[in-house]
Chains A and B, each alone.
Chain A
Amino acid sequence: MESKIFAPLKMEISNVDLFYGKFQALKSVNMAVQQNIITALIGPSGCGKSTLLRALNRMNDLIPGVKITGKILLDQTDIYKSGMAVTELRTRVGMVFQRPNPFPLSIYDNVAYGLRVAGITGKKELNEIVEKSLVGAWLWDQVKDKLNRSALDLPLDQQQRLCVARLLTIQPEVILMDEPCSSLDPIATMKIEELMIELKKNYTIVIVTHNMQQASRVSDYTGYMLLGEMIEFNDTKTLFTRPSKQLTEDYISGKYG
């Protein structure tokens, strides 16, 4: 276990069951997310990895008929406890989605959205944070001369980094990424991966990916899920080189999935 990393716990998921109506999508899932670490979730389609990710900032609340039991702690606080301010939770646990999803607004207005929602309207302050976030998402140089152009005119990988910049403005503590590279080409994917490794200095990242190589390249910890169960959760190197479960080995060696 030479590669084990011990960082403070940021999120703790224990015995989580989640139902969409009668369908059970998560079956007593346990997982620990350490601070300033990239945790990857892998597994075949429909295994519940996206559902688990969306449970971490309560995005599943938007779907009718969802029921969840068990505990999800963020800094020791149960995020499903009654009276939890969900909008505040989502500013602490932010999300980058599968498809780049800028609003049909200018680049500037996209990045400033979260700030304006939070009530920040001072022009100077907005300008500063927008620039800092675009720099942080490695997009500033490409867009600094066309901040008023529509975000939809950017190429896909720049759109995705715009979405990262938009998220950075609200300074989340945890960034959830739901297959952020699935609509990008390999070179764009590489750039996002490098960006993730840079971001983990300041943020805790959980990424869902379809791509096992991606998990092994970027993540420190990996969870392998199948049919709603967490089959194995370990540091990435161990999971990919010496998996302890046969199911995991079969998946990473490409026998199914």
Chain B
Amino acid sequence: MRIHPRYTQRGAVVILGGATLLTLVILIFIIVFILEKGLPVLGWNFLTSNPEDMGRSGGIFPTLIGTIILPLIAIIIATPLGVFTSVYLSEYTKETRATKIIRFGTDCLAGIPSIIFGLFGYIFFVITLGMGWSLLAGGLTLAVMILPTIIRTSEEAIRAVPKSYREVSFSLGASSWQTVKKVILPNALPGIVTGVMLSIGRSIGETAAVIFTAGSSLRIPTSLLDSARTMSVHFYILAREGISAENAYGTAAALIIAVLLVNLSAYWLMNRFISKRS
């Protein structure tokens, strides 16, 4: 029996639209739910004061510091490494079995659960290299964790630069490096920035990898070798140990707003960049 295209068309609209609507509703529900419970706690005082009694009362200031520093270390290390690797893979190597294996490897790494990275970081950075639970060990672990994402998104962005740009550049006597610097990276930048921003978001929200490597000290870190607690870890401990549901929601709200701010500023930066170029 053949159903008339008019009805299949209508069915498709309902199913596709419904899926979109459901996604949106779930997202909004989560955000509203957290903000509703968290916002009453969340205030200037909550953000800038130290926690007291394990976080039962007081604020989250040290975790705010940890949440800023850890992703920062990770990004500073992983961005150049990842972008350079992707440039090398896409512009300097021919497509061979070796590059395919490397690409497959990065894909696999991107899919590994973060707790495995945490375990690796604990064994390698914390124990073997003797860094102890520290911002440095945590930042390095996060860097390793987001590296595959940065490599893959950068590579996609570089691949999306039209082939003709390369041809013209080479035909005008440019070297590979001049072509990368003058044509490929500027045109791939929006895509690269998107990947980096996604990675920042992931680092901010990461719990398992951080708790193993940066520890969970509630003191304000004064050096890279100090242990620190991020907001996500703080939230996890507050909720898991039943210390304070109230403050847990406050922390969660701060976390959501932080991620939102990162994403918004990324969009703003990118739009500014694009409008400046065209």
Contacts and interface: CB of A to CB of B under 8 A. Distances in A.
Interface string A63-93: 0100000000000000000000001101100
A167 interface: yes
Interface string A142-168: 000000001010000000000100110
Given A104-B278, A113-B182, A117-B182, A167 B172 contact: yes
A97 B167 contact: yes
B185 interface: no
Contact of B169 (A57, A104, A113, A170): A113
B171 A95 contact: yes
B164 A101 contact: yes
B172 A94 contact: yes
Nearest to B166: A62
A127 to B, nearest CB: 18
B168 A103 contact: yes
B168 A101 contact: yes
B4 interface: no
Interface string B166-193: 1111111111001000110001000000
B272 interface: no
A166 B173 CA distance: 12
A57 B170 CA distance: 10
Contact of A99 (B164, B172, B183): B164
Contacts of A90: 170-173
Contacts of B171: 57, 59, 90, 94-95, 97, 167
Given A88-B173, A117-B178, A170-B172, A104 B164 contact: no
Contact of A87 (B95, B166, B175): B175
B277 interface: yes
A101 B169 CA distance: 10
A104 B277 CA distance: 8
Contacts of B175: 87, 117
Contacts of B165: 101, 103
B173 A118 contact: yes
B97 interface: no
Contacts, number: 66
B94 interface: yes
A114 interface: yes
Is the interface on chain B under 10, 10 to 19, 20 to 34, or 35 or more residues?
A: 20 to 34
A59 B167 contact: yes
A59 B166 CA distance: 11
A197 to B, nearest CB: 23
Contact of A62 (B170, B173, B187, B278): B170
B178 A64 contact: no
A29 to B, nearest CB: 21
B42 to A, nearest CB: 43
A170 B173 contact: yes
A166 B183 CA distance: 15
A64 B168 contact: no
Nearest to A64: B94
B164 A87 contact: no
A60 B94 CA distance: 14
A87 B174 contact: yes
A117 B167 contact: no
B206 to A, nearest CB: 36
Contacts of A167: 171-172
A103 B94 CA distance: 25
Contacts of B187: 104
A87 B167 contact: no
Contacts of A101: 162, 164-165, 167-168
Interface string B137-163: 000000000000000000000000010
Nearest to A58: B170
30 contacts: A57-B171, A59-B167, A62-B167, A62-B170, A64-B94, A87-B170, A87-B174, A88-B173, A90-B170, A90-B171, A90-B172, A91-B172, A91-B173, A94-B171, A94-B172, A95-B171, A97-B168, A99-B164, A101-B167, A103-B165, A113-B172, A114-B173, A114-B174, A117-B172, A117-B173, A117-B178, A117-B182, A150-B278, A167-B172, A170-B173
Interface of B: 94-95, 162, 164-175, 178, 182-183, 187, 277-278
**CB-CB nearest 8 A-B residue pairs:** A91-B173, A114-B172, A101-B164, A95-B171, A117-B174, A64-B94, A87-B173, A90-B173
Given A97-B164, A104-B277, A170-B173, 10 more contacts: A62-B167, A87-B170, A87-B173, A90-B173, A97-B168, A101-B165, A101-B168, A117-B175, A150-B278, A170-B172
